[in-house]
């Protein structure tokens, strides 16, 4: 274990970028199967009425709420990845024998984006399941 992070060393296993990566992959896989198999195959080709009635049940609403929450996080984190890959978010790493800091950890824009992303993700975690449960059926 490297020294130099004080109490932060206790939480070395909680690397938020690795956590984001894991959630990004899990959410991507979930959305892929939910959209392609459930929404497209079943809804459009097998039985639309069955899907509509299942959507109104508790398991259907849980699946839909999970999909929307995952979608919000996947979109926000995906946008962060894009900003990094296109060079909009960048930072210089601090090379130090005791306290190495990766480039992204030193980027102020990245920090601000992270804070905003977490706030929006928490709001989505509350608002989207609420909409799925109590929101009106959209019939213009």
Partner 1 sequence: MSEGTIRLIFLLLALYVIIMIGVVFLVLLPMYVPLSEVLASNPITVYPEGVAEVNPTLKFLEATIAAAWSTHGILGFRRFLSDLAKTERGMKYVNWLTVALVVVIVPMVIYAIMTL
Could you report how far apart the first and last alpha carbons of the chain are, in Å? 60
**By CB under 8 A, what part of segment 47-86 binds partner 1?**
55, 64, 67-68, 75, 78-79, 81-82, 85-86
Contact region for partner 1 (CB under 8 A) — 8-16, 29-37, 94-102, 108-116? 29-37
- Take residue 38 and report the two structure tokens written for it: 């459930």
- 3-state DSSP assignment of residue 92: coil
Q: Which residue has the tokens 């079943």?
A: 42
Residues 71, 31 contacting (CB under 8 angstroms): yes
How many angstroms separate the Cα of 13 from the Cα of each of 1, 18, 73, 110? Answer: 11, 9, 21, 21
Count of residues of this chain found to bind partner 1 when the rule CB under 8 A is applied:
32
Binding status of residue 124 toward partner 1 by CB under 8 A: no
Binding status of residue 4 toward partner 1 by CB under 8 A: no
Binding residues for partner 1 (CB under 8 A): 25, 28-29, 31-32, 35-36, 40-41, 43-45, 55, 64, 67-68, 75, 78-79, 81-82, 85-86, 128, 131-132, 135-140
């Amino acid at each position: 274990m490297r020294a130099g992070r004080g109490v932060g060393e206790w939480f070395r296993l909680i690397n938020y970028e690795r956590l984001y990566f894991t959630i990004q992959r899990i959410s991507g896989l979930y959305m892929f199967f939910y959209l392609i198999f459930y929404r497209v195959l079943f809804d459009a080709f097998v039985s639309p009425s069955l899907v509509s009635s299942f959507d109104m049940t508790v398991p259907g609403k849980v699946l839909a709420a999970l999909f929307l929450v995952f979608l919000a996080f996947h979109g926000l984190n995906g946008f962060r990845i894009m900003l990094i890959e296109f060079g909009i978010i960048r930072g210089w790493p601090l090379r130090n024998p005791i306290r190495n800091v990766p480039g992204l950890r030193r980027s102020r824009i990245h920090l601000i984006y992270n804070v905003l992303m977490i706030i929006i993700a928490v709001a989505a975690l509350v608002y989207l399941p609420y909409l799925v449960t109590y929101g009106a059926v959209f019939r213009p």
